[in-house]
Structure 1
Amino acid sequence: MLRFNSSGTITSAQWILSNTSSNCAGGATPWGTWLSCEETSSGRVWETYPATGASAVSRPAMGRFKHEAAAADPVRQAVYLTEDQTDGCFYRFRPTTWGNLSSGTLEVLVAGTGTSGMFTWQVVPDVDGSPTTTRNQVSGAKHFNGGEGCHYANNTVWFTTKGDNRVWEVHVDNITGSTYGDLYVAEDGGNLEICIITPDDIVAPFLRLVGHDSSEITGPAFTPNGQRLYFLSQRGTSGSSSGGITFEVTGPFRV
């Protein structure tokens, strides 16, 4: 956890999670916690408490699979989850009590084989994913090629898939976004750019990392006032897991 003041100066840093494996994108909750997602075949979602420093808690009801990102939908009181597998699925978790992730229902998106159309949600029978993986338990579940970032706003959830370089838009009876409505999409490989997608569907590069050839861009997130963007180079210029670098980009951004 990094804590900084209103001018962006870092004032403190501390560990809020340990003894986990291959944690990836994750996502914030409306009640001020951060979900850290393990990217392993039996990965868990951990709820961390950056505001208080309380011990992180595993949330097994959210499924055991190769987690990537999470995005909370306060309207439908659900958390959307991506799966970083070449045949991964897109899930939503509906807690028994909103704000308490200890129990609830895990569902998978069911749709046709195309890239657009109607969809439904069906319950995943065994959230432990053993002996049958969660992505293979429901007939008709839609499979996606490498689920990555996920962002919810205004009755819509967006997520990306790295295997086919797509951005998916799901209109729910209901990646990161700015207060203006621009989407910022980080590349995993390629020429390591963060690209912007505007509300009128214009796509353009926003920034590019040079000299980070063995890394990937992760975790883009705005401050609450939308004036500073943070993101990480996962392995930095060294290519080592210990060489990660956090970047800050100051605005003004469109609001």
Structure 2
Amino acid sequence: MQRRTFLRTVSAGLGAVAFSGALWQEAALAGVTRVVRGAGPYGPLGPPDGNGMALPAGFTARVVARSGRQVGGILWHPAPDGGACYAAGTGWIYVSNSEVPLIGGASALRFRADGSIERAYRILNGTNLNCAGGSTPWNTWLSCEEIFRGRVYETDPYGARGAQARPAMGRFKHEAAACDPDRQVIYLTEDEQDGCFYRFTPTTWGDLSSGRLEVLCGTDQVEWRPVPDPSPAVLERQTRHQVSAARHFDGGEGCHYAGGVCYFTAKGDRKVWAYDAARQTLGSVYDGGGTLDGVDNITGAASGDLYVAEDGGNMEINIIAPDGVVAPVMRLDGQGESEITGPAFSPDGTRLYFSSQRGTSGNIAGTGGITYEVTGPFRH
């Protein structure tokens, strides 16, 4: 498949200067889009390895778990989806949702310092179509149900405490969450064709049992308005329809906060949106003008680089660099009926975890899911 690079030129003289937060967004939005054939910051992808994964020189990959097979003492769940990493002693933990009905939930892989798997365990059970989610500054994992009147569940990646439903965060088709510690709010996406972008303000930061749910309204300069009934019981009162001025997005997906900006994807819009929280403005850092397709889960690195996983497309993870370059850093061949999910970096930034939700089988039940680790000289 074709290697691609999409360059947004920000202005003469800026070149490859790295930006973060609002400056990152301002530079990208000011740019003129043009397509450039060339390599990203890691160089071109090489030939596929034994697992069908193409990577730049200097990067290696391994399979760490497969759906329905034993790993660390449990059967790894089907349809692995959203994920995140957490420091754990000298090692780390990778958590992963399961996007299947009724038994969805989430599991965790605990790694030793040398990268070997110490054990695996469940952190959430008996929930429904757990799609994406997000981590919190107090080291919990927010697992989101992508169903009608879905809930957010706050879970413990370390497995010491039971999961708690957080209905104050709204009952809708939840996708992802991203915490903004600067304003002490949590942003939420909604996977509907006319979905909304929400902001939850806890009564007490660190306690998600109560708070205020708001919806983004307006166009470029935006405002937030309260959702009158965050837990509607009837179809006609769904959260996305309660505020007439609400801004709608086609298929809200991944969500990532860094440096004053919340980046979120909408697969129907084919955009990576950027909400500047300080200025309360909305723009985009990728508008579908290139060939990055099926924008879905998103994560970021301390370098300011964003990593966007494809749902479909040609099964790549693409980097969006602060200088505007968009290029693949990984491609899976032979898995065209799957999607890339749950990208997350280890705490030291040297390992990237993600899953192919249905693997080579393309099985809708996700029984062919594969969870990978890529190691290499990531910018961090």
TM class by shorter chain equals over 0.9
Among 4, 7, 10, the alignment partner of 2:117 is: 10
Shift in Å, 1:144? 0.1
Matched to 2:135, the amino acid is A
The 2-side partners of 1:93 and 1:8 are apart by 36
The 1-side partners of 2:162 and 2:334 are apart by 36
Q: Retained in 2: the 8 A contact 1:226–1:253?
A: yes
1:185 alignment partner in structure 2? 308
The 1-side partners of 2:191 and 2:305 are apart by 24
Shift in Å, 1:238? 1.6
Is 1:22 the equivalent of 2:147? no
SS in 1 for 2:168: helix
Q: Retained in 1: the 8 A contact 2:131–2:146?
A: yes
Pick which of 236-245 and 33-42 moved more: 236-245
Is 1:80 the equivalent of 2:80? no
2:376 alignment partner in structure 1? 251
1:129 alignment partner in structure 2? 232
Is 1:54 the equivalent of 2:161? yes
Shift in Å, 1:106? 0.5
Shift in Å, 1:53? 2.9
Matched to 2:184, the amino acid is Q
Matched to 1:220, the amino acid is P
Q: Retained in 2: the 8 A contact 1:32–1:51?
A: no
User: What is the TM-score normalised by the length of structure 2?
Assistant: 0.65
Higher Rg of the two aligned structures? 2
SS in 1 for 2:275: strand
Structure 1: tracts of 5 or more residues without a match: none
Residue deviations 1:3-44, cap 9 Å, x none? 002222111000111111110110100001000000001110
2:321 alignment partner in structure 1? 198
User: What is the TM-score normalised by the length of structure 1?
Assistant: 0.96
SS in 2 for 1:24: strand
Q: Which has the higher contact order (CA 8 A, sep 6+)?
A: 2
Shift in Å, 1:164? 2.2
Q: Deviating runs (4+, > 3 A) in structure 1?
A: none
The 1-side partners of 2:320 and 2:119 are apart by 34
Shift in Å, 1:98? 0.5
Structure 2: tracts of 5 or more residues without a match: 1-107, 280-297
SS in 2 for 1:249: strand
After superposition, the CA RMSD in angstroms is 1.1
Shift in Å, 1:154? 0.5
The 2-side partners of 1:17 and 1:52 are apart by 9
